[in-house]
Amino acid sequence: MLKYILAFAIMPLSVFAQSGVIAIDVLIEPDETMMEQAEEWNARLRDEFPQGFELDEAHAPHVTLLQTFVLRNDLDAILATVAEVSRQFDLEALQMTATGLYHVPSGDIGLQGIVIEPSQDLRALQDAIIEAVEPYRKPAAGEEAFVPDPSGAPFDPLLFTYVDTFVAGQSGEKFNPHVTTGVGPLAWVEARETEPFEPFTFGAEGIAVYQLGNFGTAAERLSRE
């Protein structure tokens, strides 16, 4: 890990010059009920894996509706479009149900999250967001499209493919809504999924647009409201 931190420190500023293409996440900001659950799991994960990220403003808990690549110059239009879609849905009445845990393996660690039931309301909201943003979608870019990782941890190229193929692989019947809680040792993360999980319901605070960071985190809020 130290070599990545040192490499990050000596990189020229030009490496992080704003790219024309950025990776964004159009997401639901959950209410306090989910925030508390996510933060609880994040604390447990960091106890097991202190190098893991903490949920904070640069790693905001959320339910992803769409991840994709867009032009930075199109952001104003995209934000306006997303806001218009948000006004068409009664977000205050939206209720979501957490049903369990899941993980995505990456070598010896696992990216953990809380699984959300893909209700009809969630599917309709995702469909509307995808349709609205579709005219602005661009082909995949690399690490330069993401917010730099302050820890210097390397980006897994699979992340770039995941974002690029999100609509094909994570929408419609393949929609897998979840709230990422952090990273931990793979065996420990897998073991937690064998334990009882008490389902709970939670609501939405709103819809926002973020620029993605490493591990697909919501790293920088782009929405102004």
Interior angle at CA 91, CA 86 and CA 94, nearest 5: 140
By residue count, the chain amounts to: 225
pLDDT score for 212: 97
pLDDT score for 15: 35
pLDDT score for 225: 63
pLDDT tens over the chain, length 225 residues: 333 322 323 333 333 334 599 999 999 999 999 999 999 999 999 999 999 999 988 899 999 999 999 999 999 999 999 999 999 999 999 999 999 999 999 889 999 999 999 999 999 999 999 999 999 999 999 999 999 988 888 898 999 999 999 999 999 999 999 999 999 999 999 999 999 999 999 999 999 999 999 988 999 999 876
pLDDT score for 12: 34
Of the candidates 16, 213, 1, 24, the one whose C-alpha atom is nearest the C-alpha of residue 111 is: 213
Placement of tokens 């952090």 in the chain: 182
Rounded Cα distance between 182 and 188, Å, is: 12
Rounded Cα distance between 156 and 166, Å, is: 16
Rounded Cα distance between 45 and 85, Å, is: 35
Burial of 44 (0-12, 13-18, 19+ CB in 10 A): middle
Q: pTM of the full predicted structure?
A: 0.86
